[in-house]
Structure 1
Amino acid sequence: MKRLDQLSLRQLRALQTVAQTGNISVAAEQLGLTGPAVHSQLKTLEEIIGSPLIVRQGRARNSVTPQGEVLLEAYDELRAALERAITNINALNHGHSGSVVLGVVSTGKYFAPRIVALCQREFPGIEISLSIANRRDTVASLKRGALDLCIMGRPPRDPLTHEIALGEHPHIVIAAADHPLARVPHVPREALLSERWVMREEGSGTRILAARFLDEIGLGHTAPTLEMDSNETIKQAVLSGLGLAMISAHTVAEELASGRLVALKVEGSPIYRQWYLLSGQDRPLSPAAEKVRDWIVGHTGDYFPKLDI
């Protein structure tokens, strides 16, 4: 415990900034300190921990040792716990009984704000914050304890979570209303290979699903692709006639209803996945988070978009 008492947040922040920049001088500039001051903080931290934390790799480039990585992971969790504590304190200061941070992957941003609005109407004493990010960042936030609850499609392998299925998450092949295939009652699967496909970035769950779908059709033949970094840009690209896309039907409910986009009738589509509500196994939910969890599970019909596909 003596070593723990000697640690400071400034030392840990210095380590994190050096790890991010790879350079003590650049880290010092970002922190508003001198290079020697940052070096001194790192040296003190290494003496406290009893292990080297930074390795110099020439030309002032620095990398973090395995011991340093372990310490940085703990720092991320500590910062998340402190941020949650401040959120709870602010909620109490404003007369609320508690706070809940709800994380949602970017595909769910089309219905997540409605969840927050309905929950705040149901529980005026609970302050609810919404955190929307891509899958990678959402999983990272869940792992470091920054989220009470999380909505996503495929639960991660790490961290371990409690999962509750909320409902079907259909993925469809979309085209602009004036695309030639939009008027075909039953689109041959082989016809899709001659079309350009607008895809999400590598690592996206939607990208993986679309790639598997095309691989199954192609039998070794690949379709030309165009990469976009968000569902919004994919929608605009398809509307502009740049190609077809496989996308969550929940992200294009309004465009389908208005007729601006069309869900192609293709064998094997829609592809149905599930939406899940997750919470970390490593710590229990607060009473406020339990109330919000139970409401989300029991009112899926109130916030998921109505679809006719």
Structure 2
Amino acid sequence: MKDITLRQLDFLAETALAGSLAGAAARLHLTGPAIAQQLRRLERAVGLPLLERGPAGQRPTDAGRLLIETHRRVRAELTACDDGLRALRSAEAGRVTAGVVSTAQYFAPFLLAAFGLAHPGVRVGLVIGNREEIVARLDDYTVDLAIMGRPPHGLAVEHQVFGDHTYVIIASPRHRLAGPGRLPFARVAEETFLVREPGAGTRLHFDAMFDTAGHEPTIGMVLDSNETIKQAVMAGLGIALISAHTIAAEVHEGRLAVLDVEGLPIRRHWLLVRMAGRTVGPTTEALWNFVSLTGADHLPSLEG
């Protein structure tokens, strides 16, 4: 392995991405034979085949995938190093990318915009996805830090609480349960629920809520976004457990009602999460500190 070069790993990753030597050569502005020669040297150094031909062209073997994953991590570390060096040359330089679970999309852009105003020389990236997608982004180093409700299992991470996160049950204002008065959970459990897909943070809280109460939920629809759930609830297709931070506008406008249910709201926290073993550049550290100190100020509220 001592004879492997980063350039050879670049060639391997580009060939796997393009599906052919010719495609990689075009992307890199080199010749196919030049890339092929370096890949043969790389295979000799590793002692295993790295590419195999399939219906869609060249694809990596297990050994090739391992090297490509290592290449991705090395490139991410070099990018962080480059950001750090530029930040040392200029206190307001660099790049940071935040991964945000979809429930946090209602406040995270405003939070990152505030950070951008405070650090105008920093380029800020934003990636939004469900919980599983953001955890995968953390693991492969394509985001520097993440905003989510619970730290991921199976990854060595650091996390920091920066605000309260509550979950409530919502209904259309025309729903028979909407209005004053506290409702027993058993009564609400008889209703039809609209839920997120398995693996989503809200779905995990929904399943845990019913498991704890010892009731079997009636699920009317499984929907892949909070926006779709809100529209379906407003239309009267069912009720839903949802993050209070996703519904502030609709509640204030009278388009959704929060049910006063025994045992609710569920009280959790918003977390900042980053990989524990990753080199942290000054820009990532600056965003981490900014969100830790001011993140709670940007959370939507049902009050007022």
Q: Report the TM-score when normalising by structure 2.
A: 0.82
Which consecutive residues of structure 2, in runs of 5 or more, have no partner in the other structure? 27-31
Partner of 1:24: none
Which amino acid letter does the alignment assign opposite residue 216 of structure 1?
Answer: T
Q: In the TM superposition, what is the alpha-carbon distance from 1:88 to its structure 2 partner?
A: 8.3
In the TM superposition, 1:137-286 aligns within 5 A as 137-183=133-179, 185-219=181-215, 221-286=216-281
Write the distance in 2 (CA, Å) between the matches of 1:121 and 1:254.
Answer: 25
Q: In the TM superposition, what is the alpha-carbon distance from 1:227 to its structure 2 partner?
A: 0.7
Using CA pairs under 8 Å that are at least 6 residues apart, name the structure with larger relative contact order, 1 or 2: 2
Q: In the TM superposition, what is the alpha-carbon distance from 1:135 to its structure 2 partner?
A: 1.5
Write the distance in 1 (CA, Å) between the matches of 2:21 and 2:241.
Answer: 45
Partner of 2:8: 7
Which amino acid letter does the alignment assign opposite residue 304 of structure 1?
Answer: L
Q: State how many pairs are aligned.
A: 296
Report if the CA contact (8 A) 1:179-1:241 is conserved. yes
Q: In the TM superposition, what is the alpha-carbon distance from 1:240 to its structure 2 partner?
A: 1.1
Partner of 1:288: 283
What SS class does the counterpart of residue 236 from structure 1 fall into? helix
Residues 240 and 87 (structure 1 numbering): CA distance in 2 closer, same or farther, change over 3 Å?
A: farther
What SS class does the counterpart of residue 10 from structure 1 fall into? helix
Q: Determine whether 1:297 maps to 2:289.
A: no
Residues 288 and 5 (structure 1 numbering): CA distance in 2 closer, same or farther, change over 3 Å?
A: closer
Report if the CA contact (8 A) 1:91-1:99 is conserved. no
Deviations 1:199-248 (A, max 9, x none): 111111111111121233354x3413311111111111111111111111
- Calculate the aligned-residue CA RMSD, in Å: 3.5
Which consecutive residues of structure 1, in runs of 5 or more, have no partner in the other structure? 18-26
Residues 216 and 95 (structure 1 numbering): CA distance in 2 closer, same or farther, change over 3 Å?
A: closer
Which amino acid letter does the alignment assign opposite residue 297 of structure 2?
Answer: D
Q: In the TM superposition, what is the alpha-carbon distance from 1:155 to its structure 2 partner?
A: 0.8
Write the distance in 2 (CA, Å) between the matches of 1:134 and 1:42.
Answer: 39
Write the distance in 2 (CA, Å) between the matches of 1:165 and 1:187.
Answer: 31
Q: In the TM superposition, what is the alpha-carbon distance from 1:133 to its structure 2 partner?
A: 1.9
Partner of 2:97: 101
Residues 33 and 174 (structure 1 numbering): CA distance in 2 closer, same or farther, change over 3 Å?
A: same
Q: In the TM superposition, what is the alpha-carbon distance from 1:30 to its structure 2 partner?
A: 11
What SS class does the counterpart of residue 224 from structure 1 fall into? strand
What SS class does the counterpart of residue 130 from structure 1 fall into? strand
6-15 vs 231-240, which moves further: 6-15
What SS class does the counterpart of residue 4 from structure 2 fall into? helix
What SS class does the counterpart of residue 218 from structure 2 fall into? coil
Write the distance in 1 (CA, Å) between the matches of 2:66 and 2:175.
Answer: 53
Residues 224 and 100 (structure 1 numbering): CA distance in 2 closer, same or farther, change over 3 Å?
A: closer
Partner of 2:130: 134
Partner of 2:116: 120
Report if the CA contact (8 A) 1:215-1:222 is conserved. no
Report if the CA contact (8 A) 2:193-2:221 is conserved. yes
Q: Report the TM-score when normalising by structure 1.
A: 0.80
Deviations 1:147-189 (A, max 9, x none): 2222111111343122111121101111111111112512222
Residues 46 and 268 (structure 1 numbering): CA distance in 2 closer, same or farther, change over 3 Å?
A: farther
Partner of 1:21: none
- Percent identity of the aligned residues? 35
Q: Determine whether 1:49 maps to 2:64.
A: no
Q: In the TM superposition, what is the alpha-carbon distance from 1:16 to its structure 2 partner?
A: 5.2
Partner of 2:29: none
Write the distance in 2 (CA, Å) between the matches of 1:60 and 1:293.
Answer: 42
Q: In the TM superposition, what is the alpha-carbon distance from 1:102 to its structure 2 partner?
A: 2.0
What SS class does the counterpart of residue 135 from structure 2 fall into? helix
